[in-house]
Amino acid sequence: MTQIVRTIHEVRGFVSDCRRKGWKTGFVPTMGAFHAGHLSLIRQARRECDSVIVSIFVNPLQFSAGEDYDQYPRQLDRDLRMAESEKADILFCPEVAEMYPKGFDTYIDQSDGGLPSKLCGRFRPGHFRGVMTVVCKLFNMVRPDVAYFGQKDYQQYLIIRRMTIDLNLDVDVRVHPTVREEDGVAMSSRNIYLGPKQRKDAGCLHQALRRAEEMVSNGESSAARVTSEMKRVINRVKGARIDYIAVVNSETLEPLKEIKGKTLIALAVRIGKARLIDNALV
């Protein structure tokens, strides 16, 4: 049975017991509102580790003014049932005051021009500083052996992996393939913001990525031609607003003119109230 813990002391006590037994601990950090993508990460952790900890914390530091912090879906009872279905051991659900005690004033960031400044970083200033700060704190609280992230948030995965290397955090950071709905839409907690027509329109992101993959598999190497075709696919949807469509190096996120070697094709599109992201590695 999955146990809910709310304090750093409790979660550290659990991990200390695991270490005394020689167990390997897997960790899945989340903001809750679970879907099949979250469950796939928990399942992978369960397969590879002796104990599994899942955190739920809607992190105020990664939301800018005017974003959806207050509206972000919170559904702990449902999440607990889903975590139990995948045999997670611990659901770590700290309060904001537990994570950021009075006087908190230390943040984690990377250099100007580094990974957080690319792609989504241009449209969500301060977002990745908030992500790095909370994940660094969670890693220090939970002290996992392995942490699991989804490919939909590939930029986040790269940033967290870089942080663990730079700060000598002894955590193996792994990325797991994006889980999709039947029509190809990447599963996201923010999909709840979409009305029926908008939900149908959201399929344009996956359609654009599929078209890009098709072009590359047929020998197209021009990033400009690929992004132009993706833009055409997105623009068929009335009201879809493109933040970016990018063809970049899969390690540095630097833009590419020519597709050769492992390449990330990524996009962010606003549909209604939802800002949706997706990507493909080619």
> Which pLDDT belongs to residue 98?
98
Catalytic residue list contains 127: no
Is residue 7 predicted with pLDDT exceeding 90? Answer: yes
Question: Does this model's pTM top 0.85?
Answer: yes
When pLDDT is cut at 50, 70 and 90, the band that residue 277 belongs to is very high
> Which pLDDT belongs to residue 264?
98
> Which pLDDT belongs to residue 189?
94
Average pLDDT over residues 69-76: 95
Cα-to-chain-centroid distance, residue 4: 22
Give ranges for CATH 3.40.50.620 in the chain. 3-176
Q: Which one, of 189, 75, 90, 94, lies nearest residue 137 by Cα? A: 94
Please name the fold of domain 3-176: Rossmann fold (3.40.50)
Give ranges for CATH 3.30.1300.10 in the chain. 189-281
Average pLDDT over residues 138-164: 98
Is residue 150 predicted with pLDDT exceeding 90? Answer: yes
pLDDT in tens, 115-131: 999 999 999 999 999 99
Is residue 66 predicted with pLDDT exceeding 90? Answer: no
DSSP 111-176: -TTSGGGSGGGGTSTTHHHHHHHHHHHHHHHH--SEEEEEGGGHHHHHHHHHHHHHTT---EEEEE
pLDDT in tens, 193-205: 999 999 999 999 9
CATH number of 189-281: 3.30.1300.10
Spot the catalytic one: 9, 38, 176, 206.
38
d(CA 240, CA 272): 8
Average pLDDT over residues 18-41: 97
pLDDT in tens, 245-275: 999 999 999 999 999 999 999 999 999 999 9
Is residue 65 predicted with pLDDT exceeding 90? Answer: no
Average pLDDT over residues 215-228: 98
The per-residue pLDDT of the chain, averaged, comes to 97
